[in-house]
Amino acid sequence: MPWFAGWNYRLLQVLFHIVPHSATIDSFFEFLVSNHLVSTWIFAACFYWFWAQDDEERSWRRQRLVQVVIAIAVTVVFTLLIRPWIRWPAPGRNPSFRDLYPPYFWNEGTLNSFPSHATLVYFSVAVGFWSFNRRLTAALTLLVLALVSVPRIYLGGHYPIDVIASILLGVAAVALLARSRLPNIFAEWLERTRPSPALREFLLLIWIFELGEGFQGSMSILTSIRHLLRH
């Protein structure tokens, strides 16, 4: 059972009372989860926009963006390490929560839904823009909840506690990394224009694409590796 199971159950009851399950609403939330062009690609576009701006603050801005990426990597690794000790099935797989969902959502979701990695990644990206544009950060954090977090809760993939924990982890990691400085040699590499930094641009391309696509490519590779190791 998740932490604060009773509180999670009551919060879901309130959500489904306000927005009852129906074929139309369920399909709409499934559309948000599966169609990255209307959800996660917004964050990829904003990341690239801040990265590509050519002004006197470019070096500082790129360092802050890289710190956000590092913060995300650290928190994701941390959550993967604690998974053997903190784990519970998604609401759709939990018999105590199934009565909140239509039968076609039963057995949906993962066997361990903690935390919501999608919320963790995109909330961290949104918060990482705080020092650039606070209004945009506020708008993007609301979009994370509306386009990423709530649809996954609504479809039985996550509990509210999964999302809240992800938000706290993301904010803490980004805030802590923002207090540090990148090594000078790495900062210079981010700013360099000659010779052509092909590796930097390639890594940026991969990051932007994966961020926009919800890291589906990375997950596919990891799944294939795990399958090969098991067999």
Task: Note whether residue 83 is domain-resident.
Answer: yes
Cα–chain-centroid distance for residue 146?
13
Q: Please report the pLDDT score of residue 51 as a whole number.
A: 94
Task: Note whether residue 227 is domain-resident.
Answer: no
For range 32-60, the mean pLDDT: 93
- Specify the amino acid at residue 121: V
Task: Note whether residue 50 is domain-resident.
Answer: yes
Domain of 175, CATH number, reads: 1.20.144
Task: Note whether residue 12 is domain-resident.
Answer: yes
Task: Note whether residue 24 is domain-resident.
Answer: yes
Q: Which of 206, 192, 202, 218 is nearest to 62 (CA)?
A: 192
Q: Is 19:25 a contact under the CB 8 Å cutoff?
A: yes
Q: Please report the pLDDT score of residue 230 as a whole number.
A: 75
Q: Please report the pLDDT score of residue 195 as a whole number.
A: 67
Number of domains in the chain: 1
Choice among 102-106, 144-148, 184-188, 191-195 with the minimum mean pLDDT: 191-195
For residue range 153-170, list pLDDT tens digits in order.
999 999 999 999 999 999
Q: Please report the pLDDT score of residue 2 as a whole number.
A: 92
Choice among 55-59, 184-188, 200-204 with the minimum mean pLDDT: 184-188
Containing structural domain, residue 216: 5-222
Helical segments of the chain, H only: 5-18, 23-34, 41-52, 58-82, 117-128, 134-143, 150-154, 160-178, 184-191, 198-212, 216-230
Task: Note whether residue 231 is domain-resident.
Answer: no
Calculated CA dihedral for residues 60, 66, 67, 69, nearest 10 degrees? 150
pTM greater than 0.85 (yes/no): yes
Three-class secondary structure of residue 89 per DSSP: coil
| Token pair 């802050």 in the structure block, residue | 64
